């Protein structure tokens, strides 16, 4: 589908409208975090332990990662549109299962099933790459995810308010209603953008070694993985820190929880505005450094005795701002190594990012016990962000060596 074609909203014979791409990526982000302020209450409802309830984040991310390995090649082979429609339908079924679950084990099963909505994120990026070259794709991905950033910014606030007013089930009823609207939107507005492969499904998987052999792919992939890893650790640990360390109510936790998304919004704006001019490597380097700096300042203030919710959540805006610069550019870099494998690269890179995020989320939940306060979470995030800086520095060095 040519980028010169005019965009006509709710006409799938034209390129998809940017609102459709925002909705696709936004529903996945919302399903990941809207219920997080309710985790302590859900722990009481199911009469279980917080560590088990927190697996609703870690298991979701783990399945999310595994699905991305499959979704990318399937969409390269059969097209973006049918994969997206099927995924949204399964998400609706899974959301009903979460609402009606009688036990924590049943809830966790359907919660894992909800991860199928990751197709919106994977294929939303691939659709952009289908239509734009690398630098322009980074800019467009930045604008799409800038709009999407509003969703996780307000999601926990809405989730906390719904929990206090109607109970935690209301969060999942909202997800079901919005999922149904996104399904209708995709059906009407998003036509096929991929030039589907003529090869077999197995042949798509045989393309993985091509990506694995590319140091550029690994450099961009690890930069994105470490940047997002810090955020996923935050997803797993921040609800506990807010409720148990600082004693905040679900609504107040939801309010503070959106701090990284606020930074992410502005980081995405910077990406959309300057990626073409500055280049993706410079944007990734500066974004990684900003994330690490914010976490270092947070740790130093905690060590100096300023152990408050304002300090903890306030400096998380640095993480969001840095990620807003890193992720669109690193994603565009991954997808540009082999443009004909954009869906496969998006899925594989996303799987590596989310898989690492699942591990970090579970680790954060496991370490946040006893009297350690927020230190374990800040430490994990600082280490991960520092590794992100090292990854992009290595990538830049390799490119200079090859160019020389």
Digit-coded pLDDT (tens) for 242-299: 888 888 887 788 788 878 888 888 888 888 788 778 888 899 999 999 999 999 999 9
The rounded distance, in Å, linking the Cα atoms of 383 and 386 is: 5
Between 138 and 222, residue with greater pLDDT: 222
pLDDT of residue 299: 94
Question: Considering the chain, what percentage of its residues have pLDDT values greater than 90?
Answer: 26
Can you count the helices (H) and strands (E) in the chain? 18, 0
395: pLDDT strictly greater than 90? no
Task: Tell whether the torsion through CA atoms of 52, 57, 62 and 67 is positive or negative.
Answer: positive
pTM of the model: 0.70
The rounded distance, in Å, linking the Cα atoms of 41 and 167 is: 9
Is 225 in contact with 394 (CB distance < 8 Å)? no
pLDDT of residue 152: 63
pLDDT of residue 6: 65
Question: Considering the chain, what percentage of its residues have pLDDT values greater than 70?
Answer: 83
Least confidently predicted of 91-95, 142-146, 343-347: 142-146
Question: Residue range 156-168: average pLDDT?
Answer: 87
Of 101-110, 322-331, 370-379, which one has max mean pLDDT? 101-110
Instruction: Using alpha carbons, list the distances in angstroms from residue 338 to 162, 193, 213, 284, 346.
Output: 44, 17, 12, 20, 11
pLDDT of residue 322: 93
Is 304 exposed, middle or buried, given 0-12, 13-18 or 19+ CB atoms closer than 10 A? exposed
> Nearest-CA neighbor of 395 among 277, 226, 223, 224?
223
> Nearest-CA neighbor of 227 among 169, 297, 302, 285?
285
pLDDT of residue 311: 93
Task: Tell whether the torsion through CA atoms of 182, 8, 143 and 128 is positive or negative.
Answer: positive
pLDDT of residue 404: 47
Q: For the chain, which domains are there? A: 18-403 (1.20.1250.20)
Model confidence over 365-394: pLDDT tens digits?
Answer: 777 766 677 888 899 899 999 999 999 998
Between 162 and 271, residue with greater pLDDT: 162
pLDDT of residue 224: 87
In the structure, what pLDDT confidence band is assigned to residue 2 with cuts at 50, 70 and 90? very low
How many Cβ atoms are within 10 Å of 202's Cβ, its own excluded? 9
Across the chain, mean pLDDT equals 82
The rounded distance, in Å, linking the Cα atoms of 297 and 68 is: 35
Is 97 in contact with 109 (CB distance < 8 Å)? yes
Distance separating the N- and C-terminal Cα atoms of the chain = 37
> Nearest-CA neighbor of 265 among 151, 137, 108?
151
Which 8-state DSSP code applies to residue 359?
Answer: H
Question: Residue range 61-80: average pLDDT?
Answer: 80
Question: Residue range 304-311: average pLDDT?
Answer: 91
Question: Residue range 31-42: average pLDDT?
Answer: 85
């Amino acid at each position: 589908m040519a980028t010169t074609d005019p965009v006509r909203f709710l006409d799938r014979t034209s390129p998809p409208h940017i609102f459709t791409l925002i909705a696709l990526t936004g529903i996945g982000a919302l399903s990941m975090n809207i219920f997080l302020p309710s985790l302590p209450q859900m722990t009481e409802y199911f009469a279980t332990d917080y560590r088990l309830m927190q697996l609703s984040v870690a298991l979701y991310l783990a399945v999310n990662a595994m699905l991305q390995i499959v979704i990318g090649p399937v969409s390269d082979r059969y097209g973006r549109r049918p994969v997206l429609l099927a995924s949204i339908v399964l998400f609706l079924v899974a959301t009903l299962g979460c609402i009606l679950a009688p036990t924590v084990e049943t809830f966790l099963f359907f919660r894992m099933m909800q991860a199928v909505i990751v197709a919106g994120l994977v294929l939303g990026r691939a659709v952009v790459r289908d239509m734009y070259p690398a630098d322009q794709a980074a800019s467009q991905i930045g604008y799409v995810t800038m709009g999407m950033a509003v969703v996780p910014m307000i999601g926990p606030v809405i989730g906390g308010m719904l929990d206090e007013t109607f109970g935690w089930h209301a969060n999942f009823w909202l997800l079901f209603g919005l999922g149904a609207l996104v399904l209708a939107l995709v059906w009407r507005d998003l036509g096929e953008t991929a030039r589907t492969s003529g090869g077999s499904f197995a042949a798509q998987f045989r393309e993985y070694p091509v990506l694995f052999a590319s140091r550029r792919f690994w450099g961009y992939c690890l930069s994105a993985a470490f940047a997002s890893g810090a955020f996923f650790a935050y997803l797993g640990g921040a609800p506990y820190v807010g409720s148990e360390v600082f004693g905040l109510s679900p609504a107040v936790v939801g309010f503070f929880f959106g701090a990284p998304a606020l930074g992410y919004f502005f980081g995405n704006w910077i990406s959309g505005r300057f990626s073409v001019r500055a280049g993706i490597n410079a944007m990734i380097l500066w974004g990684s450094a900003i994330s690490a700096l914010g976490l270092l300042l947070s740790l130093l203030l905690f060590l100096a005795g300023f152990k408050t919710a304002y300090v903890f959540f306030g400096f998380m805006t640095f993480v969001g701002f840095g990620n807003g610069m890193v992720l669109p550019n690193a994603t565009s870099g991954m997808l540009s190594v082999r443009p004909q494998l954009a869906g496969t690269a998006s899925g594989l890179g996303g799987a590596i990012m989310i898989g690492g995020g699942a591990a970090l989320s579970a680790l954060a939940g496991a370490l946040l016990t006893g009297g350690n306060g927020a230190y374990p979470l800040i430490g994990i995030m600082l280490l991960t962000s520092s590794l992100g800086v090292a990854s992009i520095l290595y990538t830049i060095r390799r490119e200079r060596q090859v160019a020389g």
